[in-house]
Structure formats: structure tokens, C-alpha cells
Amino acid sequence: NICNKCRINRSLSTNLPSSRRYSPDRTRLFINGEFVESKTDNWIPVYNPATNELVTHVPETTPQELKDAAESAAEAFKSWRKTSILTRQQILLDLQLLIRKDTDKIAKSITEEQGKTFADAKGDVLRGRQVVENACGITNLLMGEKLAVATDMDTYTMREPLGVTAGICPFNFPAMIPLWMFPLSIAAGNTMIIKPSERDPGAMMILAKLAKKAGVPNGVLTVVHGSVGTVNFLCDNEHIKAISFVGSDKVGKYIYQRGTSNGKRVQANLGAKNHGVIMPDANKNLTLNQLTGAAFGAAGQRCMALSTAVFVGEAQEWLPELVERAKKLKITGGFEPDADIGPLISRDAKARVERLVRSGVDQGAKLLLDGRNPRVPDKYKSGNFIGPTILSNVTMDMNCYKEEIFGPVLVCLSVDTLNEAIDLINKNPYGNGTAIFTNSGSNARYFAHNIEVGQIGINVPIPVPLPMFSFTGNRASIQGDINFYGKSGLQFYTQSKTVTALWRHEDVNHTKSAVNMPT
């Protein structure tokens, strides 16, 4: 069932009209500094989520290609680890500039393959580029510690690279998440193999071109594609010492288990259910704007989307106004200048979100705003669109509360006090992000100290930390204990060594051996 012309497996793209099934475009592999076409017979189609037209095909990288990729990354590590930190810094400085110049090009690829609006896609690139900019400070970031323990003895630490590292990425931030991974890893002297999501590989391919142009040597950055087979290889291959994963719970737990049982370091950022607490003393206008943007922006496909609102006391009277604001958002293809909300990544994702909305209604929630089957311009009729949807009277036993929806759906709960809101959030298994909207400093401080969530916003709806800090997800939102980027990121990609040196100036002719533990 393979197309002779492009060797594409027809069975993978059969539910579309024949004119849309095959594309001459195939996404390449980036191995040992070369962009090469895979020899696979197994190609995964990538569709534009706004139209469901074919954009490209992604290869399931063959076992031999994966082996070549890992071996070239291992070979490149031998010389890369010996480069001076200043050399690596210069390359990163050039890379950040090239990314800055090509922001629109990368963003265009993101909108085409992932669906988010062009303005939002530029934010995806910016938030990733900030990690590169931070990694340019590697000369300071990698400094160790030193203590003159005595006049003749020093103890100092060094941080050394691990070897080949791997990064496995989700679809929702095709630029930012790979940029959480490879710039810091290679700045620290490692080599890295990135596997972008098979649903939107384009941004990473542009980043690989820019890395090559910036002078990243052959084999230091590698890009392979595919799904389960490629991931299993990365979890098992002997050259790979550490794996960074961002994605869904099920896959993250699997990779954590498989990778760690093979003796690798694994950091895995998983799913989320982020609650926003709305206090009646908050600035109403600001809060409703923030809530609307954070719940529905990027069609709710952000791991830090504020998908659950907890109204405290009289704040629940603001719900009708929230609905009015959400209704004003424009649902259309991401390249349209007035677009607020683009499509969901796939037809399956759309069906899943619709199912969870339906389950909410069936289980007793009130559908204040129904975004299913939204009106979109004709050219987007086949796209995977859902408009802003608001469910109120939601309770903790409903599926729409328990599951991560990952769509433009805000579920709303009501409580009487801040303490009840805190209890409710702490009972939820996830601990990625949360926010409180209030004008009371003492409420905000009380919340920040009593909430068991990794990232807390105070009048900030999506508190993704800047890269001088780390992304500190908590509880079921993370597997492993070393966070992404910032100081933790470097800790993850390096091994500490502690050297204790004795340079005795006197007494060197002493003949009796010391047998006790030195003090």
C-alpha cells in the first residue's frame, strides 16, 4: 500500500479527499550536520489544522538512521566537550540573533502546522529565544564554587557535560519547548538529539538550519522524527545519558520508567489542570480580561492555560460578563489579522474536547457558552475549530473537571472562602500552574504559601517563569526532580565533580602515615 512516487504509506492518509492525500514535501532528518531524506517506507502526514490540507510528511526514522544519529552525536561529543566555553557562548550569541531575525518565518511554520494565531506563534518563538539568550550567559551560569579549606587545601566544584542527551517534544509549543532543551544542553558541552512532535516538525527544522548557520558543529545537534519507535530507541540507546520530555501524562510516565530503568536521567513535564482563583476584591475588568485570554488563547492548548476558574463568594456574579467577553473572540484561521482563536491540532482532539463538554452537561454542569460548531469563514469549514465554551456549576467529581481538556473550555466552580479554594486546588492531582486575582496583599501572600502548585501568578494568569528562573511544575505535573531551564536546567544537563587539593608547603618529609579519617 505504498505510493511508488513518494513511498508514502497510503493507509496513513486515507480519510481525506484524494487531491489532499499526497504531498511531494517530506520533512528531512538532520544527522551529522546534513539534512537528509529518510529511507523509510512509513510516512506520517501533517495537516494544517485550520483547513486539514496536507502540509508535509514526517518519516518514522529507520533503525539504521537512528543508530547513525546516536553514533554521530556520540562522536561529536568527543570534540564538542573540549571546546572552550567562550566558543560555545559565541555560537549561542549568533543563534539568538538568527532566531530573532527569522521569528516570522518560524512563526509562519507554527501557524501552518500547529494552528495557533500568527501573533501567538511569535510569542512561542520569543519565549524560546529568551532561553537561548539566557544560555548565552553560560560563562557565568556554569561557574563552580571554591573554598580555601585551609592554607594548603582547596575544595572546588566543576560541572561537566553528560554526553549525548535527547529531547522529546509535544505539539503545542513547536519552537519554545525544543528551545527549553537543546540550547542549554549544548551550551553545557553536551550533544543533543531532538525529536519534535510528528504533528508539527517545521519550526524545529528551521531552528536546526539556524543552529548550523550559527556554527553548531556537525552531530552536536541532531533531529530525528517519528513516534513510538523513535521514542523507544531514545529511551534505550546506550549513548544517550539523559532525556528531557514534555507532553502528556501517559507518555511521560512511560518514558520516565523506560529511560530511568535504563540508567538514564529523565526530566518529564506532564499534564495540567490550572486553577484561577477570583476573589471579590479583585479588579473586575483586569481579571475578566486576563481570565478570558488565559482560558481561550491558543485554543486552550497550553499546559499553563487557565482552564478552571474558582469564584470566591460574590465574584461568581461576574460570570455573565465573562461570557460576554468570551463571545467577542474571533474564531478563524491563525493567519487572519483579526484571529483570536485558531483550530485544535487534530480532528481527534476536537472530538475529545466535544466529548468532555457533553459529559459536563450530562453530569449536571450548566453550559453558559457553547463553542461547539462555531461559525468560521468558508475556507476554514474543514478545520478543527471549537469556540470559547464555559461550563458553570462544575463539581470535582465531573469528568470535565478531572481530565485535562486541552481545548478552549473554561470550567467554573464556586466556593465561599479562600481557604476552600486552596483546599480544592490542593486536592487536584496536578500542580503545574495557578493564579489568584486579588487586590489584597495578605490574601495573595497567604495563597502563595499554602498552595501546592509549582507556578503561581498573582494577578498574572499564565505565570511561566522567565528563563533565569526554572519551570517548576509540581506533583502529578512532573516526573523526575530536576526542572527545565534556569539553574535546574543546567544541573540536569551536567554532572558535578568536587575536587579537594592539598599543596603542602612544610612538613613534607614527615615519615609516619596518617591512618585516621582526615579532620
**CB contact at 8 A, 188 and 138:** yes
**CB contact at 8 A, 225 and 46:** no
Q: Which is nearer to ligand NAD, 348 or 423 (CB)?
A: 348
Is 303 in the active site? yes
Q: Which is nearer to ligand NAD, 168 or 214 (CB)?
A: 168
Which positions ≥6 away from 109 have C-beta within 8 Å? Answer: 174, 200, 202, 203, 205, 206
Residues in contact with ligand NAD by CB under 6 A are 168-173, 195, 197-198, 227-228, 231, 246-248, 251, 254, 269-272, 303, 404, 406, 432, 471, 473, 477
Residue type (1 letter), 65: E
How many whole angstroms separate alpha carbon 257 and alpha carbon 264?
A: 10
- Look up residue 165 and give its three cell numbers: 542527551
Q: Which is nearer to ligand NAD, 173 or 182 (CB)?
A: 173
Helices (H) and strands (E) in the chain, counts: 16, 22
Q: Output the smallest distance, CB 210 to ligand NAD, in A.
A: 21
Q: Which is nearer to ligand NAD, 235 or 398 (CB)?
A: 235
How many whole angstroms separate alpha carbon 67 and alpha carbon 70?
A: 5
- Look up residue 3 and give its three cell numbers: 505510493
Listing from the earlier edge strand, what are the strands of the sheet with 221-223? 34-36, 29-31, 221-223, 191-195, 164-168, 240-246, 265-269, 478-479
Q: Output the smallest distance, CB 451 to ligand NAD, in A.
A: 17
Q: Output the smallest distance, CB 171 to ligand NAD, in A.
A: 4
Listing from the earlier edge strand, what are the strands of the sheet with 494-502? 146-150, 153-161, 494-502
Q: Output the smallest distance, CB 198 to ligand NAD, in A.
A: 5
Q: Output the smallest distance, CB 331 to ligand NAD, in A.
A: 21
Q: Which is nearer to ligand NAD, 80 or 406 (CB)?
A: 406
Which positions ≥6 away from 411 have C-beta within 8 Å? Answer: 307, 308, 309, 360, 365, 391, 394, 398, 400, 401, 405
* Active-site pick, 169, 235, 303, 400: 303
- Residues forming the active site: 303
